[in-house]
Structure 1
């Protein structure tokens, strides 16, 4: 019996050592990849192995995380996570805050909202969460009035006033940059605009900034990973390394804030 216990103990120690030595797998999307690459390199210098897995859509990172194929993902804010958990029946949770990217209203044709004609076309995101953010931004601009208290859950049905009779067109969020040449006004994400290299990401007529801190991008995990020491070390590097902060500044300019400092 003692021999069996000793064998099991050795096996457990071996498994623990292997897990600790295994690379931390971090899932993300193109908009956040470059600063994360800097964090991965910095982690390597400190003896922490990290593998970055880049996804091309906003569904696969959570599917992969829930399946255990990656250890953490970094691409979504709390409203998106809440909606994703409800839709998929998962229980993923936020571990630590990252940055918040400003979202803006852009126009190729007009320099101010006053110039927008009656019946102007406005492209906003087509998913429930980012559409709500776009509607809130339009309300901040004074172009729409929404029902009180709807917040990020706002839909077109919550519009109570549309004095310019704006025509809303819903487009996949990562594709909004392509609507810039066709629509009169576009909800835009500077990170994707910068990747597309089609126009100046700082040229928005209006940004939302930290009006809605719920949009801080989160490091998201499965509940059983909250005590993973590799994860704690990597997040500390991301949030506090001067090298990573320089990469964030280079990638985002002034169009972001550090959510962990708010």
Structure 2
């Protein structure tokens, strides 16, 4: 029995040591919407002796699956409501580690110069995921194009629409494809970074921005729960938040359509 107990304790000690092994490059997952400033942070980290490997994903599912599986150490692409939904739907054990930035999201049109010109029966594209779709509906309500049920918030769906005076046809599109939908619809929810990448429209030319009235939409550095003590994370986040070179990269990439989500 004593031998078994000692073996068990040895096994637990080995697991603990493995869990606390934060050697090797820090692997950071992201998407194209956040990659350029992160590339600057990676370069700055290298100057300070911290090796960081940036892994870019093309969708909004793989970064969390990869993080949960331990293929990467941290990701940066999502806000808290999106993370909460991902944990619930995927059974993940992911938690926010530190805030990054908050972006303006807007309503855009290639066909109309104002919201008043949106025609009766016009087509509007919003994000098809449960959280960002809700953000799009809240934008449409702010634009006075629809009315949502009292109390309908970040998780609003089309079923929460109580008034649609222009009889708008609302279609749901994968968020990363919304920029390309602009050529086919009267109005679309838009994310400045994807609009800039697509070249379809100047991201500054939204007919309406949602502003920064929802701090829940601050993009977060996200990790697996239990890895908060990783010293590489602390150093890299400090570089991202406080390096003048990274701030210059953020300003260049996002222009005026972002704000830092951390205390200055």
- TM-score over 0.5 for the alignment? yes
- The alignment covers a number of residue pairs equal to 251
1:205 match: 207
- Counterpart selection for 2:119 from 110, 117, 139: 117
2:225 match: 223
1:55 match: 57
Deviation at 1:20, TM superposition (A): 4.1
Q: Following superposition, which runs of at least 4 residues in structure 1 exceed 3 angstroms of deviation?
A: 18-21
2:42 match: 40
2:170 match: 168
| TM-score normalized with structure 1 length | 0.92
2:241 match: 239
- Counterpart selection for 1:252 from 218, 237, 254: 254
2:5 match: none
The reply on whether 1:192 has 2:188 as its aligned counterpart is: no
3-state SS of the aligned residue for 1:96?
strand
- CA offsets 1:36-67 (integer angstroms, 9 cap, x no match): 00000000001111110111111110001001
Q: Which runs of 5+ in 1 are unaligned?
A: 1-7
| TM-score normalized with structure 2 length | 0.91
Deviation at 1:150, TM superposition (A): 1.8
2:68 match: 66
Q: Whose helix proportion is higher, 1 or 2?
A: 1
Aligned partners of 2:142, 2:134: CA distance in 1, in Å?
12
Aligned partners of 1:94, 1:132: CA distance in 2, in Å?
21
Deviation at 1:21, TM superposition (A): 3.6
Deviation at 1:147, TM superposition (A): 1.0
Deviation at 1:261, TM superposition (A): 3.1
3-state SS of the aligned residue for 1:90?
coil
Aligned partners of 1:102, 1:45: CA distance in 2, in Å?
32
Aligned partners of 1:20, 1:162: CA distance in 2, in Å?
53
Deviation at 1:224, TM superposition (A): 1.5
Q: Which runs of 5+ in 2 are unaligned?
A: 1-9
2:93 match: 91
